[in-house]
Amino acid sequence: MTREHNFSGVFYPKDYGQLNASIQSFFSLLNSSSVDSKFLQMVNEYIRDKKILSFIVPHGSYDYSGYVSAFTYYLIDKIECQNFIILSSDHRGTSPGISVLEQGTWNTPLGPAQINKTMAHNLIKKSDAGFVEIDSLSFEIDYTIETQLPFIQVLKKDNFTFLPILQRKQDKKTCVQLAKVLASIIPQDEKVILLSSTNFTHYLGYEECYAIDKKLISEISKMDLDSFYDNLKNYFRYVCGYGCVATAIEFSKLFGNLDVILLKHLTSGDIDDKKDSVVGYSSILIL
């Protein structure tokens, strides 16, 4: 099957040249900051020899979250990796639980991106019956994974494949189970990057958003699912992909990756200066 770029012109530019220029502008802005660029260069020294890495990355409109996403993709640009798993929560609620696209291509204005058929097949094969379902409809109407692909395409051109997963069930048990299955399908002797996508606090005031996001990021840094879910009780309604974060935590632990680095955090209020109701965006690395 071919999934078209259904949300181009909404969350990111529809024109090839404008889209490429938009993404390059985020990297240019990042490189213009000596503090940010030196910080990421330092982080890069720690990840060179890692086979498995996980990132938490936002999925807002590029106008708002693109710069924060660039911190993740700046590091990905330094890594020789052709295998990506892109995990996001199901925003429409149509997924049976865990949904996957089994094969084909996903088009963006920059061209087609190839779905990793082997990893998709193994994900289904190694899961309990009914745990993972082939489900094209949920992907057609959800934008979150689509927003990641142009960044990867700018960096890797057509030299990558990816496994798209939508996660509607975000309870702790499901996340642990999904993490174990994902760990079991990693190709031997190949690098793999997991991109777990979520936005953080939604539609609260600027100061309150920062306070809640600070608590949530602190919980992520503990790499403890019990603590994460205990503290999430008051905040889960504000964080769309909390289960994707939990899956990334558990997946990373299975490979001995226990260190968490906050790469960048901003809110929409930092972009448009409208601070009555903001959304939080974070790039986070687990290594």
pLDDT at 75: 98
Residue position matching structure tokens 């390059």: 24
CATH (domain of 220): 3.40.830.10
pLDDT at 238: 87
What 3-state DSSP class applies to 93? coil
CB 156 within 8 A of CB 82: yes
Mean pLDDT of 202-212: 97
Mean pLDDT of 217-241: 93
Residue position matching structure tokens 């910080």: 39
Q: What residues does 112 pair with on adjacent strands?
A: 107
Mean pLDDT of 235-258: 95
Model pLDDT for residues 155-184, shown as the tens digit of each residue: 999 999 999 999 999 999 999 999 999 999
Is pLDDT at 1 greater than 90 in this prediction? no
List the domain range (segments joined by +) for residue 199: 2-286
What angle (nearest 5°) sits at the alpha carbon of residue 30, between those of residues 25 and 35?
165
Q: What is the average pLDDT value for the chain, to the nearest integer?
A: 97
Q: Write the CB contacts of 32 (distance below 8 Å, at least 6 apart in sequence).
A: none
What 3-state DSSP class applies to 8? strand
Model pLDDT for residues 63-93, shown as the tens digit of each residue: 999 999 999 999 999 999 999 999 999 988 8
pLDDT at 105: 98
Measured CA to CA, the distance from residue 257 to residue 32 in angstroms comes to: 31
Q: How confident is the model at residue 269 (pLDDT cuts 50, 70, 90)?
A: very high
CB 194 within 8 A of CB 257: no
**Tally of domains within the chain:** 1
CB 65 within 8 A of CB 281: yes
What angle (nearest 5°) sits at the alpha carbon of residue 161, between those of residues 16 and 174?
115
Is pLDDT at 137 greater than 90 in this prediction? yes
R_g of the chain computed on alpha carbons: 17
Is pLDDT at 235 greater than 90 in this prediction? no
Looking at residue 188, its amino acid is Q
Q: How confident is the model at residue 234 (pLDDT cuts 50, 70, 90)?
A: confident
Mean pLDDT of 227-236: 90
Mean pLDDT of 228-248: 93
Percent over 70 (pLDDT), the chain: 100
Measured CA to CA, the distance from residue 193 to residue 50 in angstroms comes to: 10
Per DSSP bridges, beta strands 83-89 and 98-100 are unpaired
